[in-house]
A and B are shown apart, each in its own frame.
Chain A
Amino acid sequence: MAQDGTFITFSNVDLSRGNEKLFSNLDIEIRERRVGIIGNNGSGKSSFLRLVNGLLLPDAGSVNVCGLDTCKDRNALPALAGFLFQNPDHQIVFPTVAEEIAFVLRERRVGAREAREAAVQLLAAHGHADWADRPVHQLSDGQKQLVCILAVTIGSPRVLLLDEPFSSLDLPTRHDLLMRLDMMPQLLVMASHDLDLLAGFDRVIWFEKGAIRGDGAPAKVIRDYRASFATMLEPLRIAAQ
């Protein structure tokens, strides 16, 4: 279970992307601590995450995060729901590591020195105090993604939304980052194609064309998902023989 009062609720949500209707009458309630989102490309995983953080607003219905309505309280949402993107280079704003991590604090009017100290402390807690003044472009992809994680969690959001955050990383780095995330108190919602990684989560939701096709214990949902494309691939497999 997530911390008290930490939850995400979708009520009757409709959402169109372009001319196509993606979600209609979507109802979901999330209170588990780690929730995986799976599904093929275009199934609605990213849109689902973006609805939670207010990057997308529902055409109808409502999305509620820890008591805030994403339509009405959009400005307060980023502090509550942090977002981690697939490509760290698309979200890092500052040339050096400590500046990047301190950014959210400075946006909240924390003084320059105080914000930097907090950033350096957080880096030290993760065993990387020496990164503080390193130029970001000298870091590896995994290191950049860790910087992004710290840059988001330093603002103490209650929910972390992760949109395929590990897809370009090697396996040891994926597990390293996931273990670090596991030690944090946030409710995690992670869209991913790494089914093995999600197997240890508390719940997995499977989207297909904007509808929930499976929802529940990871083992069962992931098995059903695998079975679905096995059936789809059957004619090809026969042709290949």
Chain B
Amino acid sequence: MIGLYQHPPTILHRVSAGYKLIALAVLSIVCMRIGNVAILAACLGALLAVYAGFGKPFVRRLAILRPLWPTMLAIFVAQIIVADWQSATASILRLLVMVLLADLVTMSTRMQAMMDALAPLLRPLRMFGVSSERISFCVAYVIRLVPLLLEQWQLYADAWRARTGNRPGWRLIAPFFANILRMAGRHAEALDARGFGASRQ
């Protein structure tokens, strides 16, 4: 799941990425240790209050939880079978708390800041010839491309609907991918034009 950077900025946007990541790690570990349903529910309530306090665009972000419900349901059922309903509820609450905590970090941290904070951890990869800068570049690029690809799909879907009057079907997939490949070529050319990687050759 990739959450997106959120504008306008909140207090959290001012905290440095490193501290936020450490806090996230610590809080997540603490969260794993809590088995009490009431405490977990209180944590979730507090988090929801934080989201609400930041304003409407942040409350709307809670929609990121929607694709998670099948997984949650599966975990809940499995927990009831192997344990009891209390630990099942605790697991779900814990998951929600951890996802929302993590999203607070993603939405308030610029990609570059996040990657700079992670760079020391990625550095050992250099032994295998992988540059940590390249990894951070790729992650930022993917995040940039997500809204762009959604927009491209929408353009195709609109064109389809305009010409057929029907909802677009699987037949759009091939032209969509062909278009993405063409777009990838253009992006490569634009990077080339800006001298990407020249300083490392």
In the complex, per-residue mask of A73-85: 1 if CB is within 8 Å of any chain B CB, else 0: 0011111001101
Of the stretches B47-55, B71-79, B124-132, B190-198, the one at the interface is: B190-198
With a CB–CB cut-off of 8 A, which chain A residues contact B144?
92-95, 136-137
CA distance A37 to B2 in the complex (A): 43
Known contacts A91-B187, A96-B5; A133/B194 CB under 8 A: no
Of the stretches B34-42, B85-93, B109-117, B162-170, the one at the interface is: B109-117
CA distance A159 to B31 in the complex (A): 57
Are the CB atoms of B194 and A103 closer together than 8 Å?
Answer: yes
With a CB–CB cut-off of 8 A, which chain A residues contact B137?
93
Are the CB atoms of B111 and A55 closer together than 8 Å?
Answer: no
Interface residues of A in 94-111 (CB under 8 A from B): 94-96, 98-99, 102-104, 107-109
Are the CB atoms of B5 and A152 closer together than 8 Å?
Answer: no
Instruction: Judge if A121 is at the interface, Cβ distance under 8 Å.
Output: no
Least CB distance, A153 to chain B, in whole angstroms = 12
In the complex, per-residue mask of A96-137: 1 if CB is within 8 Å of any chain B CB, else 0: 101100111001110010001000000000000000011111
- Partner among A109, A133, A152 whose Cβ is within 8 Å of the Cβ of B9: A133
Least CB distance, B5 to chain A, in whole angstroms = 6
Instruction: Judge if B21 is at the interface, Cβ distance under 8 Å.
Output: no
Least CB distance, A109 to chain B, in whole angstroms = 6
Are the CB atoms of A78 and B199 closer together than 8 Å?
Answer: no
CA distance A55 to B140 in the complex (A): 24
CA distance A53 to B156 in the complex (A): 33
Least CB distance, B35 to chain A, in whole angstroms = 38
Instruction: Judge if A17 is at the interface, Cβ distance under 8 Å.
Output: no
Instruction: Judge if A140 is at the interface, Cβ distance under 8 Å.
Output: no
With a CB–CB cut-off of 8 A, which chain B residues contact A116?
112
Known contacts A108-B199, A133-B9, A135-B4; A96/B111 CB under 8 A: yes
Spell out A's residues near B (CB within 8 Å): 53, 55, 75-79, 82-83, 85, 87, 89-96, 98-99, 102-104, 107-109, 112, 116, 133-138, 151-152, 155
- Besides A91-B190, A107-B198, A133-B7, 17 other A-B contacts (C-beta < 8 A): A55-B192, A75-B201, A78-B193, A85-B190, A91-B193, A94-B111, A94-B112, A94-B140, A95-B4, A98-B110, A99-B111, A99-B112, A102-B112, A109-B199, A133-B5, A133-B13, A137-B147
